[in-house]
Amino acid sequence: MLLWLIVLPRWLGLGPVPIRLRMGGWRLGPRQRLRMGGWRRLGPKGRRTGRRSPLLTGRGIAQLLALALVAEVATAATVLHPGAARPGEGSVFHLAKPYFPASTRFYTDPDNPAAQWVRGNAHDRRAAVIRKRIADQPQAAWFTDTDQGRVESQVRGVVRAARARGRLPVLVAYAIPQRDCGKHSSGGMANLSGYRDWIGGFARGIGASRAVVILEPDALAHLTCLKRRQQGQRYAALTHAGRELRKRAPHARIYYDSGNSRWLPAPVMAERLKRAGIDRYGDGIALNVSNFNATRDEVRYGLSVLRELRRPRLGAVIDTSRNGAGPTRDHRFCDPPGRRLGTPPTARTGIPGIDAYLWVKQPGQADGCAATAGLFVPGYAFGLTR
């Protein structure tokens, strides 16, 4: 976007002064440059005129004040700008402020995998570090049990415990049919009908409680491994899941998993999200789940996806559980060595459109290479704390 500010009155000796603003700062108009010593006026072809206005003159101060005001406005109103406006839409897309208050405290499940290992291995020399750095930190609870009755009971138990402690739980629904394309985390419900019943139980378990829901990691990013009919069923499953959660768990925040910055282009992911019902039922997108990409890359990608979606109410959450050292050079995703814990869970992101940094992946759980997927590996967990 170009914002043209006409700085008047004429007695400043400037005439109309175009100021070009972009995200991240401002630029001067085509015939002015700002130097440490003051304004440099340029001739018709960009040649220096030789005239300089000292920085501390009245004119220089007025100019700087005008620029400071414009910069302040630009900083306060962060926007994203699509390459071309769609018919009937404005050319400016405003990002929402982070949804959660900065003081939000997420729930720490006392029965998370790291905590269970620490209780059973209290004399292990690694136990104290794993307890402090991992077990005592808020992290998501994953629900994969394919029994509808059990998953409803499990979800209800977590949200009630979180509510009793005044904390906000993060819940991962992970039972989509053909999950993980038959790879390390394969499984899920056998068919669409079974999944509809399953997600209904999951939603009833939340009920009127507050919760953050991460909806089906990798489900949209993995679409290409499915046949066309199966792809249609997956879109139907995710749309139904969003609808059920919105209906039966009205106070839950629903974040559709959207892969990560190294997977699909933002326009492709945005189109898949729309077909999965995010426009109608979602509150945002989840990024970098179980991956290692740097937070700054995920922020950039997330904002690009939000720009494509053009729904100001949507936000993004980013999994920072294991991205403290970023990815390996070859972007290995399955239990790569030398990784580190990332930013602890917080809603204090300071970035419009980014609702929270979360530990969605439970640190120490294997991806399927160091051990069976989902198994807690104390050696790997301890390595993350180094």
Residue 99, domain member (yes or no): no
CATH number at residue 282: 3.20.20.40
- Classify residue 367 by burial, with Cβ atoms within 10 Å: 0-12, 13-18, 19+: buried
- The answer, yes or no, to whether residue 87 has pLDDT greater than 80, is no
Rg (CA), the chain: 25
Domain count, the chain: 2
Same domain for 117 and 70: no
Q: Specify whether 70 is located in the same domain as 148.
A: no
E strands present in the chain = 19-22, 25-28, 32-35, 38-42, 48-54, 79-80, 93-94, 141-143, 170-173, 211-215, 252-257, 284-287, 315-319, 354-358
Q: Could you tell me if 274 and 324 lie in one domain?
A: yes
b/e burial code for range 163-202 (CB count within 10 A of at least 16 → b)? beeebbbbbbbbbbbbbbeeebbebbbeebeebbebbbbb
Q: Per-residue pLDDT tens for 113-166?
A: 999 999 999 999 999 999 999 999 999 999 999 999 999 999 999 999 999 999
**216 with 278, same domain?**
yes
Band the pLDDT of 12: cuts 50, 70, 90.
very low
The 10s digit of each residue's pLDDT in 282-307 is: 999 999 999 999 999 999 999 999 99
**The predicted structure's pLDDT at residue 91:** 52
Which position has the higher pLDDT, 84 or 238? 238
Q: Is residue 241 part of a domain?
A: yes
45 and 167 belong to one structural domain:
no
Residue 337: asked if its preceding bond is cis (omega within 30°), the reply is no
Q: Is residue 90 part of a domain?
A: no
Q: How many other CB atoms sit within 10 Å of the CB of residue 52?
A: 14
Task: Report if residue 102 sits inside a domain.
Answer: no
> If you write DSSP's letter for every residue of 171-238 in order, what string do you get?
EEE---TTBGGGSTT-B--SSHHHHHHHHHHHHHHHTTS-EEEEE-TTTTTTGGGS-HHHHHHHHHHH
354 close to 98: Cβ distance less than 8 angstroms: yes
161/166 Cα distance (integer angstroms): 9
What are the pLDDT digits (tens) for 164-198? 999 999 999 999 999 999 888 899 999 999 999 99
Q: Which long-range contacts (CB under 8 A, 24 or more apart) does 294-301 make?
A: 294/323, 294/326, 294/327, 295/320, 295/323, 295/342, 295/343, 295/357, 297/261, 297/262, 298/260, 298/261, 298/323, 299/351, 299/354, 300/261, 301/260, 301/261, 301/266
Query: Is the pLDDT reported for residue 6 higher than 80?
Result: no
- Asked whether residue 281 falls in the same domain as residue 209, the answer is yes
What average pLDDT does the structure give for the chain? 84
pTM, two decimal places: 0.78
Q: Are 73 and 118 part of one and the same domain?
A: no
The encoded tokens of residue 136 equal 């005592």
The pLDDT value recorded for residue 54 is 41
Name, in order, each residue with C-beta under 8 angstroms of 329's C-beta and a sequence gap of 6 or more.
Answer: none
Please name which of 317, 271, 328 lies closest in space to residue 295, comparing C-alpha atoms: 317
Is pLDDT at 83 greater than 80 in this prediction? no
- Annotated active-site residue 180? The verdict is yes
Q: Is residue 316 part of a domain?
A: yes
Residue among 109, 111, 145, 180 flagged as catalytic:
180
- Contacts for 312 with CB less than 8 Å, ≥ 6 apart: 93, 94, 95, 96
* Residue 260 pLDDT class (50, 70, 90 cuts): very high
How many CB atoms lie under 10 A from the CB of residue 329?
A: 7
Question: 210: left (phi > 0), else alpha (psi -120 to 50), else beta?
Answer: beta
Are residues 264 and 141 part of one domain? yes
Q: Which of 50, 77, 104 is the last residue of a domain?
A: 77
* Residue 182: per-residue pLDDT: 84
Structure-token pair, residue 277 = 């019902």
Is 218 a known active-site residue? yes
pLDDT exceeds cutoff 70 at 351: yes
pLDDT of residue 133: 98
Does residue 135 share a domain with residue 26?
no
Choose between 33 and 147: higher pLDDT.
147
Q: What is the mean pLDDT of residues 93-122?
A: 96
Q: Dump pLDDT digits (tens) for 47-72.
A: 444 444 444 444 444 454 444 433 44
Per-residue pLDDT tens digits for 186-232? 999 999 999 999 999 999 999 999 999 999 999 999 999 999 999 99
pLDDT digits (tens, 9 = 90+) for 327-345: 999 999 999 999 999 999 9
In a domain, 269, yes or no: yes
- Asked whether the predicted pLDDT for residue 279 surpasses 60, the reply is yes
Statement to judge: residues 148 and 31 lie in one domain: no
The residue-averaged pLDDT of 16-33 equals 41
Selected catalytic residue, list 109, 218, 283, 367: 218
Q: How sure is the predictor about 235, in pLDDT bands with cuts at 50, 70 and 90?
A: very high
Q: What's the confidence (pLDDT) of residue 183?
A: 86
- The residue that leads in pLDDT, 89 or 307, is 307
- The residue among 56, 77, 98 that closes a domain is 77
Say if 101 falls within a structural domain: no
Structural domain containing residue 69: 10-77
Residue 2 in domain: no
Pair (243, 300) in one structural domain: yes
pLDDT of residue 167: 98
CB-based burial of residue 116 (10 Å sphere; 0-12 exposed, 13-18 middle, 19+ buried)? Answer: middle
Residue at which a domain ends, from 77, 96, 124: 77
Q: Are residues 68 and 15 in the same domain?
A: yes
For 105, the token pair is: 């405290």
Sequence-separated (6 or more) residues with CB below 8 Å from residue 306: 80, 93, 95, 285, 314, 315, 316, 353
Q: What is the DSSP letter of 106?
A: B
